[in-house]
Amino acid sequence: MRVSVAGAGLGGLCLAQGLRGAGIETEVYERDPAITARFQGYRLVLNPAGFEAVRACLPPRWHPLLDAIVGDAYGERLILDRHLNRIGELGPGRTGTVVDRHVLRHLLLTGLRVRTGAGVTGYDVLPDGKVSARFAHGDPVTADLLVGADGVGSAVRAALAPRITPTDTGVRFVIGRTPLTERFTGLSRAFGSKIAGDGMSLLLGAMRFRTPPKEAAERLAPEVTLPDVRDYVRWAMILPNGPLGAATPQEAALSRMDGWHPELRALVEQSDPDNSTLLSIRVVEPRERWAPGPVTLLGDAIHATSPTGGNGANTALRDADLLRRCLIEASEGRQDLLDAVGDYERQMFAYGAEAVRHSLDALPAYVPNS
């Protein structure tokens, strides 16, 4: 069996690692000209299902490294005003495993065949039931299965299910990263809480590694090269609809922080400009299933969520592990390939739709009148 994966995000790479471990030939095709060509996000909170999906897809020899490079999520999930006074609660405290997206992505890339500058533009189903992926540049590639893990703007989804399209919620957010120096440890009460402003929210989350990733890889898995990333605070300002009206992410945030606690303003002022960005919140809701065939979807390509749900990456990783298990059954002759893909899709549609609904239900708590 040969599998082509369109997209080198966490979900596609996790699937590719899992299939590689099962001896299934897999190649990943990424539209970006290089792995580090653009912003890739910050820390993620993995729930038990998401974390176990990663472990299941990675070689067991890397499990100690995975355990070393994560952190622990905890917090009261309070609502604070702009002076850091407690004014309410968001709900029960959230626990889980915190991981840096950039670091995890580099771990998942290790040992894989990834072709960059190779965005899939479409595909053709061949008479023998195989699928031929087309690219803007280069020759087509034939495989038994094409997996569209190419994000919210998925070209694979556009060809497979053109009626399923992204919806812009109208909500925007500004996100950045600031080194977790001694000065900002005093903000620990705000980590995991919502700081409420006038029609907007600021969210802070600490990424504290159990072991610095580069050091952990050198000690536990020398064949893996991880970025030299240190502890930091991830901040995100969620805004209602409308123009951002600023040239940089820092300016967009600071322009809305007049009169805020000086430590909060300093946190934004001292953020890394190369790791800050302005983003829109778009969702993709899985609707009617497409006809069975040698093409399927994974992650944001079929169920993109609002970040307020905290479940986007977890759901994509769950997809990867589920599809891995289904394809192993097919490769071992215990199930027909299309039946295996069908089993994956039936389960994925159900929990993927629920993940999107949950994320949208959570949005008004962070942006009133959204």
Instruction: Give the Cα separation of 256 and 64 in Å (integer).
Output: 43
**pLDDT (mean) for 146-155:** 97
Least confident of 17-26, 100-109, 151-160, 277-286: 277-286
CA-closest candidate to residue 171, choices 280, 253, 303, 308 = 280
pLDDT at 25: 98
Mean pLDDT confidence for 146-160 = 97
Q: Which tokens go with 123?
A: 């595909």
Model confidence at 112: pLDDT above 60? yes
What's the confidence (pLDDT) of residue 9? 96
What percentage of the chain exceeds 70 in pLDDT?
96
CA dist 338 and 345 (Å) reads: 10
Tell me, what's the pLDDT at 198?
A: 84
Least confident span in 10-14, 94-98, 199-203? 94-98
Q: pLDDT grade, residue 60 (50/70/90)? A: very high
Structure tokens belonging to residue 26: 């897999």
Do 336 and 294 meet the contact criterion of CB atoms below 8 Å apart?
no
Report the predicted TM-score, pTM, of the whole model to 2 decimal places: 0.95
Residue 279, CA distances (Å) to 39, 171, 285, 305 in order: 11, 9, 19, 14
The token pair at 27 is: 């190649």
Tell me: the pLDDT tens digits for 85-99?
999 988 766 678 999
Average pLDDT over residues 19-34: 96
Check: CB of residue 258 under 8 Å from CB of residue 224: no
- pLDDT over 90 at 247, yes or no: no
Give the separation between CA 43 and CA 254, rounded to whole angstroms.
22
Report the range of poorest mean pLDDT among 40-49, 86-95, 120-129, 156-165.
Answer: 86-95
Gap between the Cα atoms of 336 and 5, Å rounded: 20
Per-residue pLDDT band for 310 (boundaries 50, 70, 90) equals confident
Q: Among 100-114, 196-210, 219-233, which stretch is predicted with the lowest mean pLDDT?
A: 196-210
* Model confidence pLDDT, tens digit, residues 268-290: 999 988 888 888 899 999 988 99
Closest CA to 123 of 151, 172, 161: 161
Which among 299, 332, 277, 314 has a CA at the least distance from the CA of 40?
277
Q: Mean pLDDT, to the nearest integer, of 18-31?
A: 98
CA dist 310 and 312 (Å) reads 6
Give the whole-number percent of the chain exceeding pLDDT 90: 78
In this predicted structure, the answer to whether residue 118 has a pLDDT above a threshold of 70 is yes
pLDDT tens track for 313-366: 999 999 999 999 999 999 999 999 999 999 999 999 999 999 999 999 988 888
Calculate ∠ Cα 93-355-42, nearest 5°: 65
Distance CA 112, CA 29 (A): 11
pLDDT at 39: 67
Query: In the 3-class helix/strand/coil scheme, how is the chain assigned residue by residue?
Result: CEEEEECCCHHHHHHHHHHHHCCCEEEEECCCCCCCCCCCCCEEEECHHHHHHHHHHCCHHHHHHHHHCCEEECCCCEEECCCCCEEEECCCCCCEEEEEHHHHHHHHHCCCCEECCCCEEEEEECCCCCEEEEECCCCCEEECEEEECCCCCCHHHHHHCCCCCCEEEEEEEEEEEEECCHHHHHHHHHECCEEECCCCEEEEEEECCCCCHHHHHHHHCCCCCCCCCCCEEEEEEEECCCCCCCCCHHHHHHCCCCCCCHHHHHHHHCCCHHHCEEEEEEECCCCCCCCCCCEEECCHHHHCCCHHHCCHHHHHHHHHHHHHHHHHHHHCCCCCHHHHHHHHHHHHHHHHHHHHHHHHHHHHHCCCCC
Rounded Cα distance between 119 and 6, Å, is 7
